[in-house]
């Protein structure tokens, strides 16, 4: 039975490339916000700064939840720890060779294989061999293995990854090797594949383990510094970290499970979008999160975001549970340029926070999406970022004029916005139409700094008629951290034909025992969580599998097959009754509901009167109004074109659309044409 945690003082803090955002729920459940510049040279200090600036009494705080891109950045920039890999003799080049494919780009003669996560000189072999059934073919030679470890120590490694052949079937050799290193070289972090990713497929398992070892020490050091800083200031609770699956885990587990943090920020945003949709009575949503560098989209039919078992970062396959999202290089900082064919392109290259868009006046010289927004009149130069920043319109115009497009800066701005909107619409189609889902049955939930600005235009291109803009959309990810549930995933490989024992009472008992062990490791009481069971299945002969989820109760093979074929039809449009079905792996998911009840502030309904503006949209200039979002009280309606400004974001209501402030204080835009 799931327990409910206290809904007292809680904080959610997310670190972005430019700013660090905080949402704080006080003892009464009322929300307060904070925002401060990020501190790249000492990342954890921004969290301490934003808490201090908000004058939060940490001694009274019951829970702090944090999300960060530190693991992702360390991997992409290859700035992790010095890492060595121990693998079975004869398999040294698994992570170098990878798979002999071009990753869905088979006709690209210039395809470049992803850079391996580790140099060949940092990979060493140990004499041992397990069979795929877990039988010992060759015993582990610990003396020879220690000589290889000593060589690593002379090379100055900070961490050692261990990925031995078929360790998912029998981890005994990995366990012995890890125990030896931890005893003889306690200063070195050790990461074994049966602990990080106990699944078959040697390449993916090895890469995941190496990446975890590469970023794990940096994540652990960062989390330890943050935890110590919070405790020095009076915090006495458990620091929690957002995972890519949309749930949180205790910070003490972050270092050993760093790969679970790779998409923590976007996952928190999806979790927030689901919460806002639920409170407004919505059931089917598509999330649109536009930031400075990229746009993330996800789909949640019935307010359930699907998860997948693998993501790719910088071309590397990482086996970890993650919310199924699509990401494109379309953010406010995405650079517009003329390509070698003479065509206008937008992104994925970004101006970033520094120098940033030209209109920021920080040294940027290349035109960006934000510059196009300014020239089009969608961003008001004197009221950007709550009036704390003035945008240089003339500089943005000059930058767009430099593209040399016919029609001048306004035409260039219109073209840039059309391309960005089209790219976002294509990303939505990939997670909806391409999977047999009609996006017109969904409502877009738009957040991030730029999501509400583009969402209605993207929706119209897709035939979607409603867009929800939640409270304070620019800090939605921080809000998602505040309300997220604790969620821990684990996997167990067991390849066999679907039969009576696939999910019988004995199997359920074994999975429940494994779940209880995972719960204890993460500080959860036996009655504090709900257990779900996932079964990875495929048709015999297929290369990859689909996961079906069910509750922790026995299922006969016919029922399991029916669940699999429903999922197969949904994903691929067909099922094959004549083909046999195989079970590949089992998954357990334990969820402890947060139980937090919060209330977002309602708009005051007062503020400066709306003033007329001109907006260039779709190649024509139209007259509209600009006003503060807080001016619209619950029940108020406004017809577009209109620009609604607030400190964290800007909402654009196009011609033919109407916006209403709902009783919750959230905005609903509706296509009135």
CB 234 within 8 A of CB 59: yes
Task: Say what the pLDDT of residue 253 is.
Answer: 84
What percentage of the chain reaches a pLDDT higher than 90? 54
Question: Residue 13 to residues 130, 302, 395, 483, 667: CA-CA distances in angstroms?
Answer: 45, 28, 34, 12, 24
Share the mean pLDDT of the chain.
89
pLDDT digits (tens, 9 = 90+) for 228-252: 999 999 999 889 999 988 988 888 8
Instruction: Report the alpha-carbon distance of residue 65 to residue 535 in Å, rounded.
Output: 30
Q: Can you tell me which residue has the tokens 């996932």?
A: 534
Task: Say what the pLDDT of residue 663 is.
Answer: 96
Crossing angle of the two packed helices 451-462 and 408-431, in degrees rounded to 10:
70
Q: How confident is the model at residue 313 (pLDDT cuts 50, 70, 90)?
A: confident
Crossing angle of the two packed helices 369-376 and 408-431, in degrees rounded to 10:
120
Task: Say what the pLDDT of residue 190 is.
Answer: 95
Contacts of 306 (CB under 8 A, 6+ apart): 299, 300, 323, 324
Coil, strand or helix: which one is 532? strand
Kindly state the average pLDDT of the residues 299-303: 94
Work out the number of other CB atoms within 10 angstroms of the CB of residue 608: 11
Question: Residue 213 to residues 85, 122, 175: CA-CA distances in angstroms?
Answer: 9, 13, 16
Q: How confident is the model at residue 343 (pLDDT cuts 50, 70, 90)?
A: confident
- For residue 383, give both structure tokens: 């009221």
CB 424 within 8 A of CB 347: no
> Residue 159: which of 96, 228, 221, 116 has the closest Cα?
221
Instruction: Report the alpha-carbon distance of residue 31 to residue 568 in Å, rounded.
Output: 43
Q: What is the DSSP letter of 384?
A: B
Beta bridge partners of 389: 384
- For residue 252, give both structure tokens: 């003490």
Q: How confident is the model at residue 150 (pLDDT cuts 50, 70, 90)?
A: very high
Work out the number of other CB atoms within 10 angstroms of the CB of residue 565: 20
Task: Say what the pLDDT of residue 8 is.
Answer: 57
List strand residue ranges (DSSP E) for 181-333, in order.
189-192, 239-242, 248-250, 285-290, 295-300, 307-313, 316-323, 325-328
Report the b/e string of 257-291 with b at 16+ CB within 10 A: bbbbbbbbbbbbbbbbbbbbbebbebebbbbbbbb
> Residue 531: which of 590, 607, 582, 571 has the closest Cα?
590
Coil, strand or helix: which one is 131? coil
- For residue 365, give both structure tokens: 């010289």
Instruction: Report the alpha-carbon distance of residue 511 to residue 586 in Å, rounded.
Output: 8
Question: How does strand 307-313 pair with strand 316-323?
Answer: antiparallel
- Burial (CB < 10 A; 0-12, 13-18, 19+), residue 97, is exposed
Kindly state the average pLDDT of the residues 117-138: 94
pLDDT digits (tens, 9 = 90+) for 49-95: 989 888 888 998 988 999 887 787 778 767 788 999 999 999 999 99
Coil, strand or helix: which one is 669? strand
Q: How confident is the model at residue 496 (pLDDT cuts 50, 70, 90)?
A: very high
CB 310 within 8 A of CB 544: no
Rg of the chain over Cα atoms, rounded to whole angstroms, equals 26
pLDDT digits (tens, 9 = 90+) for 435-482: 888 999 999 999 988 999 999 999 999 999 999 999 999 999 999 999
Instruction: Report the alpha-carbon distance of residue 479 to residue 25 in Å, rounded.
Output: 10
pLDDT digits (tens, 9 = 90+) for 590-643: 999 887 788 888 988 877 778 899 888 877 889 999 999 999 999 999 998 999
Q: How confident is the model at residue 4 (pLDDT cuts 50, 70, 90)?
A: very low
Question: Residue 244 to residues 71, 241, 398: CA-CA distances in angstroms?
Answer: 11, 10, 41
Instruction: Report the alpha-carbon distance of residue 494 to residue 235 in Å, rounded.
Output: 43
Beta bridge partners of 474: none
Work out the number of other CB atoms within 10 angstroms of the CB of residue 74: 22
């Amino acid at each position: 039975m799931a327990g409910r945690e206290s809904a007292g003082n809680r904080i959610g803090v997310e670190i972005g490339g430019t700013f660090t955002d905080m949402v704080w729920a006080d003892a009464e459940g009322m929300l307060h916000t904070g925002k401060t510049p990020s501190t790249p040279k000492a990342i954890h200090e921004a969290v301490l700064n934003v808490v201090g600036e908000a004058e939060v009494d940490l001694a009274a705080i019951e829970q702090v939840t944090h999300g960060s891109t530190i693991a992702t950045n360390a991997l992409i920039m290859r700035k992790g720890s010095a890492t060595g890999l121990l693998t079975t003799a004869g398999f040294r080049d698994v992570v170098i060779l990878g798979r002999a494919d071009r990753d869905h780009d088979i006709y690209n003669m210039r395809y470049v294989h992803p850079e391996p996560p580790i140099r060949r000189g940092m990979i060493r072999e140990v004499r041992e061999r397990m069979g795929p059934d877990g039988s010992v073919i060759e015993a582990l030679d610990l003396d020879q293995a220690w000589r290889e470890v000593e060589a690593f120590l002379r090379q100055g490694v900070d961490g050692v990854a261990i990925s031995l052949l078929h360790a998912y079937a029998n981890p005994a050799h990995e366990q012995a090797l890890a125990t030896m290193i931890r005893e003889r070289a306690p200063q070195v972090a050790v990461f074994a594949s049966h602990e990080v990713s106990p699944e078959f497929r040697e390449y993916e398992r090895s890469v995941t383990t190496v990446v975890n070892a590469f970023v794990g020490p940096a994540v652990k050091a960062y989390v330890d510094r943050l935890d110590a800083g919070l405790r020095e200031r009076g915090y006495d609770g458990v620091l929690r970290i957002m995972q890519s699956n949309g749930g949180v885990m205790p910070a003490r587990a972050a270092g050993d499970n760093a790969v679970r943090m790779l998409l923590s920020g976007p996952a928190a945003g999806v979790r927030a979008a689901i919460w806002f949709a639920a409170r407004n009575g919505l059931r089917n949503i598509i999330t649109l999160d536009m930031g400075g560098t990229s746009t993330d989209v996800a789909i949640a039919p019935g307010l359930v975001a699907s998860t997948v078992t693998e993501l790719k970062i910088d071309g590397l396959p990482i086996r970890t549970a993650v919310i199924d999202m699509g990401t494109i290089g379309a953010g406010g900082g995405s650079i517009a340029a003329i390509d070698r064919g003479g065509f206008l392109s937008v992104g994925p290259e970004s101006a970033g926070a520094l120098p940033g868009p030209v209109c920021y006046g920080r040294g940027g010289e290349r035109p960006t999406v934000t510059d196009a927004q300014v020239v089009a009149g969608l961003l008001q130069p004197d009221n950007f970022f709550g009036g704390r920043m003035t945008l240089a319109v003339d500089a943005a115009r000059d930058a767009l004029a430099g593209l040399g497009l016919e029609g001048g800066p306004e035409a260039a701005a219109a073209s840039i916005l059309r391309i960005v909107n089209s790219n976002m619409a294509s990303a939505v189609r990939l997670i909806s139409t391409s999977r047999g889902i009609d996006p017109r049955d969904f409502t877009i939930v738009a957040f991030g700094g730029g999501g509400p600005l583009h969402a209605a235009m993207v929706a119209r291109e897709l035939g979607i008629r409603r867009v929800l803009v939640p409270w304070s959309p620019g800090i939605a990810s921080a809000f998602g951290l505040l309300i997220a549930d604790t969620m821990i995933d684990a996997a167990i490989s067991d390849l066999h034909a679907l039969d009576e024992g696939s999910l019988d009472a004995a199997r359920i008992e074994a999975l429940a025992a494994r779940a209880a062990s995972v719960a204890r490791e993460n500080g959860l009481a036996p009655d504090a969580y709900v257990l779900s069971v996932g079964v990875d299945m495929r048709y015999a002969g297929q290369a990859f599998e689909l996961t079906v989820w069910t509750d922790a109760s026995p299922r006969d093979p016919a029922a399991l097959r029916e669940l699999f074929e429903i999922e197969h039809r949904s994903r691929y449009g067909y099922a094959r009754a004549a083909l046999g079905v195989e079970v590949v792996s089992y998954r357990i998911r334990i969820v402890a509901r947060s139980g937090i009840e919060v209330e977002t502030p309602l708009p005051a309904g007062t503020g400066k009167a709306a003033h007329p503006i001109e907006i260039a949209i779709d190649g024509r200039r139209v007259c509209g109004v600009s006003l503060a979002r807080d001016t619209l009280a619950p029940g108020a309606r406004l017809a577009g074109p209109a620009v609604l400004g607030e400190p964290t974001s800007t909402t654009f209501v196009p011609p033919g659309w109407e916006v209403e402030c709902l009783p919750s204080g959230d905005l609903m835009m509706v296509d009135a044409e």
